[in-house]
Amino acid sequence: MKYTFPESFIWGTATAAHQVEGNNNNCDVWAEEYSEGSPYKDRSGDAVDHYNRFKDDIKLMADIGFKSYRFSVEWARIEPEPGVYSKAQLNHYREVIQTCIDNGIKPVVTMFHFTSPQWLMRYGGWRNPETADRFAKYCEVVIREIGHDLDYVLTMNEANLPVMLKELFVNLEFVAPVGIDAKSWTAPGWRESAASKCGTTIDNYFTFHMASDDSSIQVVKDAHRKARTAIKKCNPTIKVGLSLALPEIQTIDGGEKNAEQAWHDYFTQFRSLFEDDDFLGVQNYTREVYGSSGALPVEEGREVTAMGYEYYPEALAGVIRRINGEISIPILVTEHGIATDDDSRREEFILRGLKGLYDCIAEGIDVRGYMYWSTFDNFEWSFGYDMRFGVIAVNLETQERTIKTSAKLLGEISQSNTLPQ
């Protein structure tokens, strides 16, 4: 059987500005990394220096065979102070977009990928309802200035992630993921230090990752809706959406109620937010299985990734089928990936995920594209540089890029629009 995808299908990879650009020292996450007692395993520093090397990097993507590149523009760079917009930074991202186009790569832009300007914390961050208007104005400026050649824009990345991280960022009672020291997250003082670096106090300090209660979730929802309106006003032809982090939710006998609650928290409560969007970005890495006592640990003997997730690429098709039963807008897979040092496992993960995705399309589900996470082995937030998701390896000492076999596989698929036999 030949697995050929629709002719217009979008193939590519994805990154986030803070994770690859380096020296993003005006954002809140930078303040957290450099706070006293910081729980971050590493500091982002130069990252993979994509800010300076984007031209060579994008050409490399094109040489590999990728046809699209999803990246984020950095709010903290573009608006370094409230209402002050940097022409130099707008020109930088204009050049990134043009470099993609010049290399035959479709740019897919995310307006917000977790990092906020430090000054936003002085106004209460994502707890303050005015943040929605500030965010929408930033989006308006960016699209008006540099958005003329864009087809797809995401207002924000994983709008539901704060809910998934609630125990970690709000209650501070949690089972730490692989490689995370639980004591460091609950240690007193580091958030106060981060707040101070942002020029404020802990009372005002409220990052996007903390937006998990009803009032702050409403701020996130308002921000998306107002940003969507602003973007459409500047360029009505742009397809606007957002992305959600969505594991496939499965259950065993007795776990139905817990599974349904998890799906409500992750998806259903956000559904009205994006029903009027042009597409939904889906980001999937694994499944979650629920029993009568809640989420179950990965079954003994099952393969796990470096992040501690169950190795289960079939979750991508599972979650897309469920979403398709509940929404009527197109789907764009904006992230699907695996952290591993064994690239052969990454290749199989991609192939098995894409086989399931092909079956979904064959069933009539409107899936527009697939973007693997991530382009590079990059800074993986609190996990530092140990979690290698990329199809391109980077030597952090020399910044040398090395193309992995998985990149070549994905490039061949992108060029042929067909899965290998």
pLDDT tens track for 337-367: 999 999 999 999 999 999 999 999 999 999 9
What are the chain's domains?
10-416 (3.20.20.80)
Q: What distance in Å separates the CA atoms of residue 392 and residue 402, rounded to the nearest whole number? A: 6
Q: Please name the amino acid found at residue 182.
A: A
Q: Using one digit for the tens of pLDDT, what is the confidence trace for 201-256? A: 999 999 999 999 999 999 999 999 999 999 999 999 999 999 999 999 999 999 99
Place of tokens 């809640």: 294
Can you read off the two tokens belonging to residue 162?
A: 């704060």
At 183, the pLDDT band (50, 70, 90 cuts) reads low
Active site residue 363: no
Q: Which of 114, 155, 118 is nearest to 138 (CA)?
A: 155
The residue with tokens 């501070």 is: 172
Write out pLDDT tens, residues 12-22: 999 999 999 99
Half-sphere CA count of 269, side-chain side, radius 13 A: 19
Asked if pLDDT for residue 306 goes beyond 70, the answer is: yes
Catalytic member of 21, 32, 140, 158: 158
Tokens (6 digits) for 280: 């939904």
Q: Which residues, in sequence order, are CB contacts of 289 under 8 Å at separation 6+?
A: 250, 251, 252, 255, 295, 296, 299
Q: What mean pLDDT comes out for the span 140-155?
A: 98
Kind plus residue range of the DSSP H or E element containing 182 = helix 182-186
For the record, the structure tokens of 366 come out as: 């409107």
- Residue 154 in 3-state DSSP? strand
What's the pLDDT at 186? 65
Compute CA distances 2 → 130, 333, 355, 358, whole Å.
52, 21, 11, 10
* Rounded average pLDDT over 278-294: 97
